[in-house]
A = this chain, B = another copy of it.
Amino acid sequence: MAHANLNLDGLTPRDHAFYGLVWAGTTLTARVDQALTRRHDLPLSWFEVMLWLSVQQEPVAPSELGARTLLSRSQVSRVADSLQARGLVERIPSPTDARSVGIALTEAGRRTYAEADATRREALAEVFDDLLDDADIAALEAVWAKLKARPKG
């Protein structure tokens, strides 16, 4: 949201922290998405699905994918269509529930994800490594842990 040089004396430190958080999240997201799209023609939303699939051994249902990630179920369904069209994932009917469909990475999908993940690390390093030290990283992780511990979500 708000940009760097805002002279808002009336804003509390919490407000500044919030605006900076949204700004940083949006900026870094755009940067990584741009790198992924340019080099691998892989939008960040696709990458996010593949990220979650890469750490699961068994196929994952779209509903669970929608709950675990920041994507809606309809978005997961359409991203799965696109990934399947490229042969990066496959839909496996659940043996116990005829309604449910499990999504899993194909071998090509695992290779593509590995390459894209390298790109992500590279793009991230350009921003993080030179500007933040270990204490900053640890502070961020501590804040995320506190926020994620929130009851209502």
In the assembled complex, the Cα of A1 lies from the Cα of B75 at a distance in Å of 13
- Is A8 a contact partner of B129 (Cβ separation < 8 A)? no
Tell me which of A80-88, A89-97, A103-111, A138-146 binds B.
Answer: A138-146
* A101 contacts the other chain (CB 8 A): no
Assembly stoichiometry (copies):
2
Residues facing B in A8-56 (CB within 8 A) are 8, 12-18, 20-29, 32, 44, 48, 51-52, 55
Q: Which of B22, B51, B52 contacts A28 (CB 8 A)?
A: B22
* Shortest beta-carbon distance from A139 to chain B in Å: 4
- Is A69 a contact partner of B1 (Cβ separation < 8 A)? yes
User: A residues engaging B (CB < 8 A)?
Assistant: 1-4, 6-8, 12-18, 20-29, 32, 44, 48, 51-52, 55, 68-70, 121, 124-125, 127-129, 131-132, 134, 136-144, 146-150, 153
